Chain A
Amino acid sequence: MLEIAGLGHRYDDGHQAVAGVELHVARGELVSIVGPSGCGKSTLLRCVAGLQRPSEGRIAVGGRPVDGVPDDLAVVFQDYTRSLFPWLTVRDNVALPLRRRGLARAQRREQALAALAQVGLDGVAGKYPWQLSGGMQQRVAIARALAYRPALLLMDEPFGSVDAQTREDLEDLLLSVRGGADRGGGSEDRGGMTILLVTHDIDESVYVGDRVVVLTGAPGRVHSELRVELPAPRDQIVTRGLPEFVKLRAEVGRAVRRP
């Protein structure tokens, strides 16, 4: 689904954010990318999203090289207060991207409402984002991405600015919609949604990921990869208590701290 080879990016001011990143993500996989702050996680994500042209290397999404924003891709940004549009209602925020899909107005609204229901936000469709709590706003951002039915979903520290309880709820929401996305319409031959989740929270990377990729600091490069083989369905209390989870967490933690 996603191929990254020899990716490097240097900004105009000479700052080298990432260097020599190699990463392959299979269709339907949920890969967590974790690393210390300033290790170029966000740069990596921006390059994959086609928001930024890397100075070296090659990225392909679904076998096609990235040149501009790929078609079947959605992003959930960390900063929900800024990525949602305050002048649109919640429903219109979710429906706006569907213009690209060539749907009629009524269909767009219907899909938007369905996506909102999927994230448990029935009944706030007519409100404005700024009337909702932070966790709910981030749910709207997730609903917007889901309604778009992307093949590849990028999440840039999506739960970074909400409180701990909400964060756990949103993690579980992510795990549940991930399964749900297979059933949602779109092209039938497509497998589940592929998700790339950038986070600085080690627990979170293990808890939601099928695989954890550890980046190390400036310039960011892949330090190690760990496969997460925790039983599904995952549960905030049970899973986090498993010896396997504790062991993985410690391993990721060591990898992050090692220079």
Chain B
Amino acid sequence: MKRDARSAPGLGPGSGARARSRARSRAAWLAGRGWGRALLGAVGVCGALLAVELVARSGVFDGQALPPASSVLARAAEMAVDEGFLGDVWVTVSAWLSGLGLAVLLAVPAGLLLGSLPRLDTAALAVVELARPIPSVALIPLAILVFVEPDRVERSLVCYAALWPILLNTLYGLRDVDPVAKETLRAFGFGVLGVLWRVSLPSAGPFVVTGVRIAASVGLIVVVSAELRAGGEGGLGVYLLETQSGGGRPDLMVAGACWAGVLGVAANGGLGWVERKPGAAAPGPPHRPGRPRPQTPDGLKEPGGLKR
């Protein structure tokens, strides 16, 4: 009964409605199958590409401004085998990942320390809440002055931007640890460290992974922004900027942005997979009902975005 509630017919009278409802039920049939869903998604991708192609060729935007989808795809394919571009991507990815890694190494122990000292915990949260609204890209000019070398600028900024989501999620995760589990372990004579290692960390694990996922997408934004502003030897942002200043080939720039999007999808997908995989990152108890959810930047309930 419920499953039909949304696509229920009866919106309009006559045979038109009947035909429409038949078309709907066919689409619903397709939507009920895995391959059908993939097909619909492919239709959407092709449709979007076609729409961009047509709009670009129709000349609604003057000449060069909007590149046709076909040429963007062609450029993107060429870039995939272009060593120069791959080198740029590698510079970006290594700065991104090393900044992220450093942030994990700093934020998780800091979170564990702060979170297990009850008085420090609230005070630390207040500091974090105050520092968090500062947009990390605002630090770019300062970081350029202080660090001078572009790759140090990028690494440090990624690390700074990634620090907060990981730290906050670790703190939230620790607040949520089941006190009964902790007390049980205490009763069996485990020390503070033992409890931390065996209960607190595993049960905060899913929160930490969510924090890392958010940090990864913020980090990607920051690393590209820093490259755009700080320049340097190489990197995706530097590539885009050079293309822009060297006459500005829109198809090349959009293709570059698309590759950045692929990086984003890969990071999100990979970490999202770790998050959903039961037991991998979270040997601790699963989500208890009524337990606060990890803080996601979109406020979305589930990591995959719209997926349910």
Known contacts A42-B1, A53-B21; decide if A12 and B10 are in contact (CB<8 Å): no
Tell me which of B24-32, B157-165, B175-183 binds A.
B24-32
Interface of A is mostly: loop
Q: Which of B1, B5, B10 interacts with A53 by CB under 8 Å? A: B10
Within 8 A of B (CB), among A1-28: 11-13, 17
CA distance A69 to B14 in the complex (A): 13
B232 at the A interface (CB under 8 A): no
A103 at the B interface (CB under 8 A): no
User: Is the Cβ of A12 less than 8 Å from the Cβ of B32?
Assistant: yes
Instruction: Write out the residue numbers on chain B whose beta carbons fall within 8 Å of the beta carbon of A13.
Output: 3
B83 at the A interface (CB under 8 A): no
Instruction: Write out the residue numbers on chain A whose beta carbons fall within 8 Å of the beta carbon of B25.
Output: 12
Q: How many residues of B contact A (CB 8 A)?
A: 17
Q: Which of A42, A46, A67 interacts with B17 by CB under 8 Å? A: A67
User: Is the Cβ of B4 less than 8 Å from the Cβ of A68?
Assistant: no
A246 at the B interface (CB under 8 A): no
Instruction: Write out the residue numbers on chain A whose beta carbons fall within 8 Å of the beta carbon of B14.
Output: 67
B101 at the A interface (CB under 8 A): no
Instruction: Write out the residue numbers on chain A whose beta carbons fall within 8 Å of the beta carbon of B5.
Output: 51
Known contacts A50-B10, A67-B10; decide if A12 and B17 are in contact (CB<8 Å): no
Binary per-residue interface labels of chain B (1-18) against chain A in the complex, 1 for a CB within 8 Å, 0 otherwise: 101110011111110010
CA distance A69 to B1 in the complex (A): 17
Known contacts A53-B21, A67-B17; decide if A11 and B3 are in contact (CB<8 Å): yes
CB < 8 Å A-B pair total: 36
Residue of A nearest to B25 (CB): A12
User: Is the Cβ of A52 less than 8 Å from the Cβ of B8?
Assistant: yes
CA distance A68 to B21 in the complex (A): 12
Instruction: Write out the residue numbers on chain B whose beta carbons fall within 8 Å of the beta carbon of A52.
Output: 4, 8-10
User: Is the Cβ of A12 less than 8 Å from the Cβ of B29?
Assistant: yes
Known contacts A51-B5, A52-B8, A53-B21; decide if A12 and B28 are in contact (CB<8 Å): yes
Instruction: Write out the residue numbers on chain B whose beta carbons fall within 8 Å of the beta carbon of A205.
Output: none
Instruction: Write out the residue numbers on chain A whose beta carbons fall within 8 Å of the beta carbon of B12.
Output: 68
Instruction: Write out the residue numbers on chain B whose beta carbons fall within 8 Å of the beta carbon of A69.
Output: 10
Minimal beta-carbon separation of A81 from chain B (angstroms): 15
Residue of B nearest to A11 (CB): B4
Binary per-residue interface labels of chain B (137-163) against chain A in the complex, 1 for a CB within 8 Å, 0 otherwise: 000000000000000000000000000
User: Is the Cβ of B13 less than 8 Å from the Cβ of A53?
Assistant: no
User: Is the Cβ of B8 less than 8 Å from the Cβ of A51?
Assistant: yes
Instruction: Write out the residue numbers on chain A whose beta carbons fall within 8 Å of the beta carbon of B17.
Output: 67-68
Q: Which of B1, B3, B10, B32 interacts with A68 by CB under 8 Å? A: B10
Instruction: Write out the residue numbers on chain A whose beta carbons fall within 8 Å of the beta carbon of B11.
Output: 68
User: Is the Cβ of B32 less than 8 Å from the Cβ of A53?
Assistant: no
Q: Which of B1, B3, B13 interacts with A46 by CB under 8 Å? A: B1
CA distance A12 to B24 in the complex (A): 11
* B interface residues (Cβ-Cβ under 8 A, vs A): 1, 3-5, 8-14, 17, 21, 25, 28-29, 32
Other than the given A12-B3, A12-B29, A17-B1, 19 more pairs (CB < 8 A) read: A11-B3, A11-B4, A12-B4, A12-B25, A13-B3, A43-B1, A46-B1, A46-B8, A50-B10, A51-B8, A51-B10, A52-B4, A52-B10, A53-B8, A53-B10, A67-B14, A67-B17, A68-B11, A68-B12
* A interface residues (Cβ-Cβ under 8 A, vs B): 11-13, 17, 42-43, 46, 50-53, 67-69
Closest 7 CB pairs of A and B: A68-B10, A53-B9, A50-B10, A52-B8, A67-B13, A42-B1, A51-B8
